Amino acid sequence: MQGFFRKTLTTVLAFILAPLLILPVAQAKKPQEPSLAPIILVVGDSISAEYGLKRGSGWVTLLQNTLIKEKFPHRIVNASISGETTSGGANRIDALIKQHSPSIVILELGGNDALRGLSIKATHENMDRMAKTVRNNRSELMILGMDIPPNYGMQYAAQFRNIFKKVSTQHKAVYLPFLFEGFGQDLSAFQPDRIHPNEAAQEKILANVWPLLKPLLLKTVS
């Protein structure tokens, strides 16, 4: 009788403990979490923050859709803020880099500096600081340049334009001279304020950015 109970107890314990013994093996066989996708960090102003646009219609969202369509693994973090200046970007860049560890950073700032008539020297220093931080992190860098109307003064406009070129050259960044190339003079491509591109123009912005960005994408997945 004792043998019978011992055998029964052994069977019951085996039944109870079996899932516990199998569980570690089952856990080991679960698919691993996918590795984190390379991050593209966009640090911009209202042009990249979809000011006045339907959510999800801006060029940054269109870029993410293109990445998926073209089967690039990158994921975009859009850290753009309407009204942002290069000073604001420079104050935020360290924390953004630390938080997201981006493979690529796209800087789209400076327009608000010009609209407010801020110092060329200060704008240049802020852009330089951001670029230096990005490159020290060994991230690839793309700088989107901007032009301003000549009514701000020909000298100021020329100096402002040269900021982006100088910083790009110094830090070996990919450089797009004018984000609104091909439609900057077409008022039908802008919202009533004549500053912010409308929804129809977002594809044109993407068309300017994509050919220069694509080599960086290939570089960061090779």
For 45-77, write each residue's pLDDT tens digit. 999 999 999 999 999 999 999 999 999 999 999
b/e per residue, 133-158, with b = 16+ CB within 10 A?
bbbebebbbbbbbbbbeeeeeeeebe
Is pLDDT above 90 for 28? no
Give the rounded distance of the alpha carbon of 21 from its chain centre.
46
Would you place residue 222 in the very low, low, confident or very high pLDDT band (cuts 50, 70, 90)? low
> How much of the chain, in percent, has pLDDT values that exceed 70?
84
SS3 190: strand
SS3 189: helix
d(CA 106, CA 86) in angstroms, rounded, equals 13
pLDDT in tens, 72-105: 999 999 999 999 999 999 999 999 999 999 999 9
Q: pTM for the full model? A: 0.84
pLDDT in tens, 114-152: 999 999 999 999 999 999 999 999 999 999 999 998 788
> Nearest 5 degrees, angle CA 67-CA 71-CA 72?
55
Altogether, the residues listed in the chain come to a count of 222
CATH number for the domain whose boundaries are 39-219:
3.40.50.1110
Q: Which residue ranges make up each domain of the chain?
A: 39-219
Give the residue numbers annotated as catalytic, written as ranges.
46, 193, 196
